[in-house]
Amino acid sequence: MAFQVLGVHHVGVTVRDMKRSFEWYSRMFGLTPGPVSEGSGEALSRSVQVNDAALAFSMIMIGNTRLEFQEYHNPEGRDFDRSNGDVGSAHVCLEVSDLDAAYRDLVEKGAVFNAPPVTLDSGALIGSKWAYLRDPDGIQLEIWESPA
């Protein structure tokens, strides 16, 4: 190959209100948002395949990966309405040191989980724990604990 994949630079998520998302992710996970940038114009619209696109974007560092928030000022997007089973649906999985403690802490802070945590009892990932929750825009997140 003429190039090498070095890692994942960021995962992008479109949100309705970046300030609300920043507050939620900061309160829930202790994450600190980076500076906000703005973008618009023909090149951006063509690149993101959104007519007359104008947006703000910012990244939050999580370990050595970034979570990018994009808030479109134009056009106003539709609310997220996908399930995990829909083709193209994606989620962000945050690895935590203690899933049970994270679950309790997040519930106390008002997080809404789909169901209580699950522990895998067979297969290559036996002993791993996970749980799905949604952010204020209904975007699917996962918390994960690998076995010791």
Query: What pLDDT score does 140 carry?
Result: 93
Instruction: Give the tens place of pLDDT for each residue, 70-119.
Output: 999 999 888 888 888 888 889 999 999 999 999 999 999 999 999 999 99
Query: What pLDDT score does 84 carry?
Result: 84
Q: What angle do CA 69, 18, 49 make, to 5 degrees?
A: 50
Report the run of H or E that residue 71 belongs to, with start and end: strand 65-74
| Residue 41 DSSP SS3 | coil
Query: What pLDDT score does 11 carry?
Result: 94
| Residue 70 DSSP SS3 | strand
Query: What pLDDT score does 81 carry?
Result: 84
Query: What pLDDT score does 107 carry?
Result: 98
Contact between 21 and 15 (Cβ < 8 Å): yes
Query: What pLDDT score does 15 carry?
Result: 96
Q: Is 48 exposed, middle or buried (0-12, 13-18, 19+ CB in 10 A)?
A: middle
Question: What is the pTM assigned to this prediction?
Answer: 0.90
- Cα–Cα distances (Å) from 63 to 92, 96, 143, 146, in that order, read 13, 11, 15, 16
Per-residue pLDDT for 19 more than 90?
A: yes
- Please state, rounded to an integer, the average pLDDT across all residues of the chain: 94
